[in-house]
Chains A and B, each alone.
Chain A
Amino acid sequence: MRSSTERGEPVVGVAVRGFSSVLVAGHSQFVGSDVATTDDRGEYRLANLTPGKYAVSVLSVQQTVLDTTPEAAQRRAIGELSRGGGVNPGLPAVDVDGTHRLAISNFATPPPPSATAPRAYAAEFYPGTPTISNARLIDIAYGTSRRGVDFQLHPVPAVTVSGRLDGASDASSMLLRLMAAGSEQFGAGSEAATTVVERNGAFTFLNVPAGEYTLLAQAVFGELTRGIGEVSMPDAPGFAGGPGQAGMAMNLSSGGLNFSSHTSKTGMWGRARVAVGTANVTDVVVQIHSPVTVRGRVVMASGGSGLRLSTILGAQPANGDPSAGFVNKFITINGDTPFALEGLGRGTYLIGLPSYFQFVSVASITTAGREIRDTGLDTSDGRDIDDVVISLTENITSIQGTVRGDGAAAAAVIIFPANRARWTDYGVDPILFRSKATDSTGTFLVKGLPDGDYFAVAVDGMQHDAWVDPKFLEAASTVATRITLTLGEKKSLDLTMSKVVVK
């Protein structure tokens, strides 16, 4: 509600954000709310929150820019969180050592940089803790208003963290992000510090408070957000995109979550653990890895109309970790079409078309003779993969039917995979799940599900997004109707209302 400095002065114009825990791909993650800004009294108000438990944080990024960085690039590097119609305080950067500058935007202005005893205002979570694991969660129900979530900021001793990238040919101007350990999945604005790589691959983070960190050097990073999106995050230098732009912004099927991702041209990535104490850290070496490229062909199953279609072909991390980013490409498919997805990290990626795209469906994806449509592609050995064949079909499935019973006119029909292994690790845009509201006559229509075995259940409309919880799926599977969909099948399915209680 209010923020002040160690002397009790209001902290004006700084960013405050709520983080709530949600299940993504079956794993618990924190997602950021809209960003509020403190006013001239130091007061803030986070509104339009979806009910849930929130950790509230005053953001504070120690942003290092180079003296040689052009002013325009510095503005981007500073990553000012844009505020609708707000006062632009200007984006000055303070000279520290003749090479590096500490940029100041809408975070608390630190004490003057000092060669002997630099201090910084660290980001903190209510009530006054630097890590989200110690934050006191605030329970927000519909219509709840909580006051008195106040912060008093204290400058803490800070040090310089420097080092170099190893294995990068030219990483100059690449953005490096220093994240509190355990907060790697947080997006722009939640860094403890950022810097840009110098021409020789060296880097310096100024003003880093003590703590355990993960240094992220990434071609692609993304974040999950929940809110009405009044705040847009800036592009980092060398990165294109941002929410709703060229980068992928995707409405998740549940809870009004948005996924946004920032993409760089370089494609390189690396991470390193950094422990910061009371002394400068000087020799951090970040091993830089080449990104993985996945190539192959998209083929249309025969018997179709031979249509030519433009769509997005994407690769999403199966575990739904937004910090791993999301690679996507506009592609025009015309018969047998080659494709290449560049910039993947190491892990398991689900390949495919966005779930909203329902003119065609993915019949199969193979590599080395194995079917990987539902399990994902393993890139953990860091090698490029060249033989992926994505088969599309115009012969899409549909399930149509009527729900009977109490509340059938306002029910949610949830269809989910019969294979329990698919209840997690389905990425941020699941293909094998559908939650569809019935209309006033209790009927529903679900189109474009891939062929396979599913459970279907009709529940109260309030539970339309309960499917994200594997425990709900477990309970629902005991009362659900099991169905098998074959390619192109037009299925009729009548359901009766079920009560699914998650223990």
Chain B
Amino acid sequence: MRLLWIAFAALSLVPQTPTPTPPPAPTTGTASIAGTVVNDEERAVPVRRAIVTIAGPGLVPSRSAITDDDGRFLAERLPAGRFTVSVSRAAFITSIYGAKRPGKPGTPVAVTTGQRVTGLTVKIWRGAVIAGVVRTEDGQPAAGLPVRVLAARQTNEPTIFTLNNNGAKTNDAGEFRIFGLQPGAYLVSVTPPVLQGMPPTSVSEAEMDAALARLRTRAPSAPSAQPAPTKPNAVLPPDPAPLAGSQPFAYSAIYFPGTPNMSQATPITLVPGQVVDNLDLQLQRVATASIGGIVTLPDGAGAPSARVQMTQTAPPGYTLDAPLVASATTLPDGRFRIPAVGPGDYTVASRATPAGAVSSGRGGGPALWAETKISVAGGDTTGLSLNLAPGPALTGRVAFAEGTLKPPVDLTQLRVALVTPASLTRRGPALGSEFNPAPPLALNADGTFEIGGIPPGGFLFQITGPGVGPTGWWLRSMISEDRDVLDRLIDIRPGSPSMNVVVSMSDRHTELSGTLRTSTGQPQADVFVIAFSPDRALWGLGARRVRAVRPGADGHYSMPDLPPGDYLVGVVTDVDPEDWQNPALLDQLVPTSAKVTIGEGEKKVQDLQTRRDVRPSASTSSSRVPLVFLRTPRGRRHGPRLGPSR
């Protein structure tokens, strides 16, 4: 759900005037928040010298406090508002008040003017540690090499590995230690520096001796009275041809437990605070292969100057965020060659601009695409064939529904774009695929647009610009052949047909809101409220009819701009944000959910009451998510009479 959440946030981004505004005067007030920070041990111990940060809308800049020797903190001079209270400490995971698990969303704390909130207990989890030694192939410590961790981020499926910001360099003893890690699955790799130019080759000792002997006969005999050459030492004559019989090799990136092939790497799963300190890696020289083939145009002719890109395949069940490995450009006859490819599973993709068309730069304009998968194990691949097919276009018109707001006068100020879900959630630096979809495109004055040459992949549609936002226009629907394309990822394959759509913008905002109370009538905050479509076909990656929020400390929850329609509303005590899109979880929720219908522009208020008190659970497996029965305030239970017996 995190995906959609961010997608919606992006939709509401209204570019402001570019002139920098002076920093707003710091907000101040009379409220205060006090509490204690404790650790995650069974018998929680106060944590001293932790940094508590209070942040939220209306508080500029954010406020921080340090805990004293008894773990207590006090943040004063706060204005009224709803704030996130987070705690950080080196080697711990920055944790939010109310979070069930480290690094997960918490519960905002609401304060009114002059209110003194006391007694907050904020739990902070110790981060996990991955440590070990990197050695060269002959067992020597390998110093100064970057060790990286790729963190698994679970969506529905497959799980995406993304480069974590954490990483370390080996020290002079080859040791590395990465600490403060969130629990979860990680791939650990060490990456030797890339050697430029010709791949190095290995030669036998006998060949080396012979080469040295040849050198000796050429070298000048020690100090002589000859005039000095301007450059010291005799230089080996250039010898571009590798020695006969030599095998090209590379120092490949090595993935735990010791494979250069990422798809054979073993993810390491860490629980909070776990220390894995024997994760040793040994560098390997791997035989490299040359990958060659031909890229052909739709008419069968070789495609000149086409870009070819190789990306790495993740272990089974996972994908990678930005896995660029190598790229090349085809010769005039369409042939290409990528040298020095280490073992692994790869996707080879190609992009070309059709004859006569002008490429509008990075990914824009009409384009032809092809892709294929290969497995490399040291032997050269020469006959790869990539047959280009046109990338489809998305054409359409943006229409503004009649309402109270006036449609924007200058539609060319609005931008439309297709973005990948990964680009919205990427946490680490992108390794960079060259084959991105087109950058945001300005609408024509009449509201029409054409996004051409769309690359293969799954995309979300975005519209941004002045007047688009929570108080302005929102993206109500995008209809193609009677179907709302926005409900799911837009899936593009080479040769997919082009789409013509009508994009409807509306100023009639919907909202699903209400207050969640326990069976005894107390506001309930430490749960998630999930609204989802009853139609299973509308679940999954990119679904916008599935949304989850955390109520505030007063039990109030709000979901703005859900597309009108039928929804089931459920409550779970403990769920990973990434699990919200997991169909298996939603299936479990169906029997205990309340049904609501949101009409066009409707502000639906649905108060909810849980039928029994929620017992916190440390469950991490979505199959064990504790479900909670819902009751309406009048006590009538919705949904079939299924679920755990009492």
Partners in one complex: yes
Binds B, one of A83-91, A198-206, A270-278, A315-323: A83-91
Which of chain B's residues 63-94 have a Cβ closer than 8 Å to chain A?
A: 63-69, 73-77, 88-91, 94
- Closest partner residue, chain A, to B147 (CB atom): A85
Binds B, one of A106-114, A182-190, A342-350: A106-114
Once the chains are docked, how many angstroms separate the CA of A445 from the CA of B229?
Answer: 11
What distance in Å separates the Cβ of B59 from its nearest Cβ neighbour in chain A? 11
Describe A's contact surface by its main secondary structure: loop
Which of chain B's residues 139-198 have a Cβ closer than 8 Å to chain A?
A: 143, 146, 148, 165-169, 171-173, 175, 177-180
Once the chains are docked, how many angstroms separate the CA of A5 from the CA of B90?
Answer: 14
- Give chain B residues whose Cβ lies under 8 Å from the Cβ of A404: 223
Q: B204 at the A/B interface (Cβ < 8 Å)? A: no
Q: A377 at the A/B interface (Cβ < 8 Å)? A: no
- Give chain A residues whose Cβ lies under 8 Å from the Cβ of B227: 443
Once the chains are docked, how many angstroms separate the CA of A116 from the CA of B424?
Answer: 48
Known contacts A39-B177, A87-B166, A442-B223; A94/B91 CB under 8 A: no
- Give chain B residues whose Cβ lies under 8 Å from the Cβ of A134: none
Cβ contact within 8 Å between B61 and A110: no
Cβ contact within 8 Å between A441 and B223: yes
Once the chains are docked, how many angstroms separate the CA of A48 from the CA of B173?
Answer: 11
Cβ contact within 8 Å between B222 and A112: no
- Give chain A residues whose Cβ lies under 8 Å from the Cβ of B223: 404, 408-409, 440-442
Once the chains are docked, how many angstroms separate the CA of A230 from the CA of B51?
Answer: 28
A25-68 contact mask (Cβ, 8 Å, vs B): 1 or 0: 00000000000000110000101100000000000000000011
Once the chains are docked, how many angstroms separate the CA of A69 from the CA of B77?
Answer: 18
Cβ contact within 8 Å between A443 and B66: no
Describe B's contact surface by its main secondary structure: loop
Which of chain A's residues 89-136 have a Cβ closer than 8 Å to chain B?
A: 89-90, 92-95, 98, 101, 104, 109-113
Cβ contact within 8 Å between B88 and A439: no
Once the chains are docked, how many angstroms separate the CA of A440 from the CA of B63?
Answer: 65
Cβ contact within 8 Å between A104 and B228: no
Cβ contact within 8 Å between B26 and A86: no
B206-232 contact mask (Cβ, 8 Å, vs A): 1 or 0: 000000000000001011111111101
**Most chain A CB neighbours (cut-off 10 Å) among B25, B28, B53, B223:** B223
Q: A304 at the A/B interface (Cβ < 8 Å)? A: no
What distance in Å separates the Cβ of B602 from its nearest Cβ neighbour in chain A? 39
Once the chains are docked, how many angstroms separate the CA of A94 from the CA of B64?
Answer: 5
- Give chain B residues whose Cβ lies under 8 Å from the Cβ of A104: 51, 64, 66
Cβ contact within 8 Å between B76 and A95: yes
Cβ contact within 8 Å between A443 and B172: no
Once the chains are docked, how many angstroms separate the CA of A418 from the CA of B222?
Answer: 33
What distance in Å separates the Cβ of B575 from its nearest Cβ neighbour in chain A? 26
Cβ contact within 8 Å between B91 and A40: yes
**Most chain A CB neighbours (cut-off 10 Å) among B49, B166, B172:** B49
B66 touches which of A88, A112, A400, A445 (Cβ 8 Å):
A112
Cβ contact within 8 Å between B64 and A87: no
- Give chain B residues whose Cβ lies under 8 Å from the Cβ of A328: none
- Give chain B residues whose Cβ lies under 8 Å from the Cβ of A13: 90-91
- Give chain A residues whose Cβ lies under 8 Å from the Cβ of B179: 12, 39-40, 87
What distance in Å separates the Cβ of A17 from its nearest Cβ neighbour in chain B? 15
Once the chains are docked, how many angstroms separate the CA of A68 from the CA of B143?
Answer: 44
Known contacts A85-B167, A442-B223; A109/B65 CB under 8 A: no
Cβ contact within 8 Å between B51 and A441: no
Q: A70 at the A/B interface (Cβ < 8 Å)? A: yes
What distance in Å separates the Cβ of B235 from its nearest Cβ neighbour in chain A? 12
User: Between A and B, how many residue pairs show CB distances below 8 Å?
Assistant: 131
- Give chain A residues whose Cβ lies under 8 Å from the Cβ of B62: 71, 92
Q: A74 at the A/B interface (Cβ < 8 Å)? A: yes
Cβ contact within 8 Å between B25 and A68: yes
Cβ contact within 8 Å between A112 and B25: no
- Give chain B residues whose Cβ lies under 8 Å from the Cβ of A86: 167-168
B389-402 contact mask (Cβ, 8 Å, vs A): 1 or 0: 00000000000000
Cβ contact within 8 Å between B127 and A40: yes
Q: B317 at the A/B interface (Cβ < 8 Å)? A: no
Cβ contact within 8 Å between A85 and B168: yes
B interface bracket (residues with beta carbon within 8 Å of A): 35 or more
**Most chain A CB neighbours (cut-off 10 Å) among B61, B148, B222, B229:** B61
Q: A402 at the A/B interface (Cβ < 8 Å)? A: yes
- Give chain B residues whose Cβ lies under 8 Å from the Cβ of A39: 91, 177, 179
Q: B360 at the A/B interface (Cβ < 8 Å)? A: no
Once the chains are docked, how many angstroms separate the CA of A440 from the CA of B143?
Answer: 31
Known contacts A45-B171, A68-B23; A90/B94 CB under 8 A: yes
Which of chain A's residues 405-435 have a Cβ closer than 8 Å to chain B?
A: 408-409
- Give chain B residues whose Cβ lies under 8 Å from the Cβ of A441: 220, 223-224, 226, 228-229
- Give chain A residues whose Cβ lies under 8 Å from the Cβ of B25: 68
Cβ contact within 8 Å between B51 and A40: no
Cβ contact within 8 Å between A68 and B69: no
Once the chains are docked, how many angstroms separate the CA of A266 from the CA of B86?
Answer: 38
- Give chain A residues whose Cβ lies under 8 Å from the Cβ of B61: 67, 70-71, 74, 93
Cβ contact within 8 Å between A68 and B232: no
Cβ contact within 8 Å between A90 and B88: yes
What distance in Å separates the Cβ of A284 from its nearest Cβ neighbour in chain B? 26
- Give chain A residues whose Cβ lies under 8 Å from the Cβ of B233: 439-440
Known contacts A45-B172, A85-B168; A111/B68 CB under 8 A: yes
Which of chain A's residues 244-269 have a Cβ closer than 8 Å to chain B?
A: none
- Closest partner residue, chain B, to A109 (CB atom): B49
- Closest partner residue, chain B, to A10 (CB atom): B91
Once the chains are docked, how many angstroms separate the CA of A167 from the CA of B214?
Answer: 74
- Closest partner residue, chain B, to A404 (CB atom): B223
Once the chains are docked, how many angstroms separate the CA of A441 from the CA of B90?
Answer: 57
Q: B418 at the A/B interface (Cβ < 8 Å)? A: no
Once the chains are docked, how many angstroms separate the CA of A209 from the CA of B303?
Answer: 71
- Give chain A residues whose Cβ lies under 8 Å from the Cβ of B225: 402
Cβ contact within 8 Å between A85 and B146: yes
- Give chain A residues whose Cβ lies under 8 Å from the Cβ of B229: 439, 441
Cβ contact within 8 Å between B66 and A87: no
- Give chain A residues whose Cβ lies under 8 Å from the Cβ of B65: 94-95, 112
- Closest partner residue, chain A, to B128 (CB atom): A40
Cβ contact within 8 Å between A92 and B77: no
Cβ contact within 8 Å between B90 and A92: no
Cβ contact within 8 Å between B228 and A443: yes
Once the chains are docked, how many angstroms separate the CA of A98 from the CA of B220?
Answer: 76
Once the chains are docked, how many angstroms separate the CA of A93 from the CA of B177?
Answer: 27
Which of chain B's residues 217-264 have a Cβ closer than 8 Å to chain A?
A: 220, 222-230, 232-233
18 contacts between A and B (CB under 8 A): A12-B89, A13-B90, A39-B177, A40-B127, A40-B177, A67-B61, A69-B23, A71-B62, A93-B61, A94-B51, A94-B66, A95-B76, A109-B49, A110-B66, A230-B169, A402-B225, A440-B222, A441-B220
Q: Supply 20 further A-B pairs (C-beta < 8 A) apart from A68-B23, A71-B61.
A: A40-B180, A45-B172, A47-B173, A67-B61, A70-B61, A84-B169, A85-B167, A87-B178, A87-B179, A89-B88, A92-B53, A92-B88, A93-B61, A95-B64, A110-B66, A111-B49, A111-B68, A112-B68, A409-B222, A441-B220
In order of increasing CB-CB distance, the 4 nearest A-B pairs are A443-B228, A439-B232, A13-B90, A12-B90
